[in-house]
Structure 1
Amino acid sequence: MENKKEVLIVIPAYNEEKTIISVLEKLEQPEIAQIADVLVMNDASSDATNYVTKKRNHDVVTHVFNLGYGSGLQLGYKYAVRKDYLYVIQMDADGQHDVCNIPKIYQALKTPDENGMFPDIVLGSRFIEGSSEFPVIMAKKIAFAWFRIILRLGTGRRISDPTTGLQGLSWRTFLFYSKYDNFDDKYPDANMLMQMLLLGFRVREIPAVMHMRTEGVSMHSGLKPILYMFRMTFSILAVWIREKILKVDEGKIHDLEKYEK
């Protein structure tokens, strides 16, 4: 009988047929395939993303309508809960996230800190010692610096790469995210880090290898980083009020305890 894999790699994809084949080929290498299954969340792509993924015998969930990046991730979390995985590692379909990061994130999720505590969220960071060189345009540099400041003021934690999409999640984290009203269905980013840090989830950063996009169009291209910065700022502030002042989600954390593995 085949051993049950602990990790599900969730890949949101929208019109990524030109890049996702290469990503999947690398994920099919033995060092990755032996520890993880792959689930592609096809967000109503109009190209052949669905076809090329199924042709390689990976699981695919296809939205009838375009629902957004966050909705794709959340449905992936629900799938992981239903299939009883222990960890989720989420990565992009555009080739920016090198698959060499997968075993490192998996190992970090299973490694306790000096107090014997395991991380709930492992962030693959572009901006800490040991990370590969990753050029960033000025608009994004400003946005990253601003989010670092807000997170530091709101939580006391300095997160070097608050917008990284390369993340590893523990079982209790993606279970929490899978529930209604616990996750941003459009742009889950620094706002989710604010939420999880305030709720007491343990966040760890590790250096990551990332590459520049070579095909397709980023959802943060052009002037979008500036507009995104304003939208995310208001979202982060709303989360801070929700968790720090109103304490809306405190009861939900206690409810997680009955599900602990």
Structure 2
Amino acid sequence: MEKKKEVLIIIPAYNEENMIISVLEQLESPEIAEFADILVMNDASSDMTSQVVQQRNHDVVTHVFNLGYGSALQLGYKYAIRKGYRYVIQMDADGQHDVCNVRRIYQELKTADADGIYPDIVLGERFREGSSVFEVSRAKRIAFFLFRMMIRISSGRDITDPTTGLQGLSWRTVLFYSKYNQFDDQYPDANMLLQMILIGANIREIPAVMHARTEGESMHSGLKPIIYMFRMTISMIAVWIRERILKLDIGKLENVAYQKE
């Protein structure tokens, strides 16, 4: 009987038929395929993204309508829970997240700290010492600074790259995120990190290798960055009220029981 793999790599994709082929080819290497399966969340792409993934014999879930990045991830979390994966690593389909980061995140998820505590979330960060050089626009730098400051003021924690999409998640984090009203269905970035810090999650940061997008359209193109910054700021304030004043999720993460296979 084939040994069950521990990791599910979730890749949200929207019209990425050209870029995702290279990503899948690299993920199919034996050193990654030995511990990880791949799930592509195809968010109603109008191109051949779904067919490309199916031809390579990977699982793909296709939305009938475009539901957004957050909804694609959350459905992927539900899939991971149903299938019994112990860890999830989420990464982009456009090639910006180098595949070399996957094994390092996996090893970090399995490593306890000096107190014997394992991480709930491992962040692959672009601006940490040891990361590759990654250029971003002035607008994005302003957003990063704003979100860092909001997290620091709200929680006392410094997060170098609060909008990184390259993350490793423990089983209990995936289960927590998969439940109704506990995950942002559109832009789950700095707001989700703030939420998890405030409810006591163990978050680690490691340097990551990333590349600039070479083709296609980013989900933060045009006027979307302005809308994103406004929405994220409001969401982070709402998270602070939810967790610090109303205390709606206090204790929920600790109550998630690990279900053995």
Shorter-normalised TM-score: what interval? over 0.9
Taking a change above 3 Å as real, the CA distance of residues 100 and 254 of structure 1, as seen in their structure-2 partners, is closer
What TM-score do the two structures reach when normalised by structure 1?
0.97
Instruction: Summarize deviations over 1:228-259 as a string: whole Å, max 9, x none.
Output: 11110000000000001001112533531x44
What TM-score do the two structures reach when normalised by structure 2?
0.97
Is 2:68 aligned against 1:68?
A: yes
Contact 2:162–2:190, Cα closer than 8 Å, also in 1: yes
Is 2:160 aligned against 1:160?
A: yes
Structure 2 equivalent of residue 53 of structure 1: 53
Contact 2:124–2:205, Cα closer than 8 Å, also in 1: yes
Structure 2 equivalent of residue 212 of structure 1: 212
Alignment of 1:120-159 (within 5 A): 120-159=120-159
Instruction: Summarize deviations over 1:101-124 as a string: whole Å, max 9, x none.
Output: 000000000111121111000000
Structure 2 equivalent of residue 198 of structure 1: 198
Count of aligned pairs: 260
Query: 2:84 is matched by which residue type in structure 1?
Result: D
RMSD: 1.0
Structure 2 equivalent of residue 109 of structure 1: 109
Aligned partners of 1:172 and 1:194: how far apart in 2? 17
1:221 deviates by 1.9
Partner-residue secondary structure (3-state), 1:80? helix
Aligned partners of 1:208 and 1:45: how far apart in 2? 28
Structure 2 equivalent of residue 237 of structure 1: 237
Structure 1 equivalent of residue 184 of structure 2: 184
Structure 2 equivalent of residue 27 of structure 1: 27
Instruction: Summarize deviations over 1:43-94 as a string: whole Å, max 9, x none.
Output: 0100000000000000000001110000000000000000000000000000
Instruction: Summarize deviations over 1:159-215 as a string: whole Å, max 9, x none.
Output: 000000000000000000000101000110000001000000100000000000011
1:225 deviates by 2.0
Instruction: Summarize deviations over 1:102-157 as a string: whole Å, max 9, x none.
Output: 00000000111121111000000001110000001100000000000000011110
Contact 1:172–1:260, Cα closer than 8 Å, also in 2: no
Query: 1:147 is matched by which residue type in structure 2?
Result: F
Aligned partners of 1:4 and 1:33: how far apart in 2? 12
Contact 1:143–1:226, Cα closer than 8 Å, also in 2: no
Query: 1:35 is matched by which residue type in structure 2?
Result: F
Query: 1:197 is matched by which residue type in structure 2?
Result: I
> Which blocks of at least 5 consecutive residues in structure 2 are unaligned?
none
Partner-residue secondary structure (3-state), 1:253? coil
Partner-residue secondary structure (3-state), 1:240? helix
Aligned partners of 1:207 and 1:22: how far apart in 2? 22
Aligned partners of 2:202 and 2:155: how far apart in 1? 12
State the percentage of identical aligned residues: 73
Contact 2:199–2:251, Cα closer than 8 Å, also in 1: no
Query: 1:171 is matched by which residue type in structure 2?
Result: W
1:222 deviates by 3.2
Structure 1 equivalent of residue 93 of structure 2: 93
Aligned partners of 2:129 and 2:223: how far apart in 1? 29
Query: 1:133 is matched by which residue type in structure 2?
Result: V
Aligned partners of 1:222 and 1:72: how far apart in 2? 22
Taking a change above 3 Å as real, the CA distance of residues 243 and 17 of structure 1, as seen in their structure-2 partners, is same
Contact 2:173–2:253, Cα closer than 8 Å, also in 1: no
Contact 1:11–1:92, Cα closer than 8 Å, also in 2: yes
Aligned partners of 2:81 and 2:49: how far apart in 1? 25
Structure 2 equivalent of residue 18 of structure 1: 18
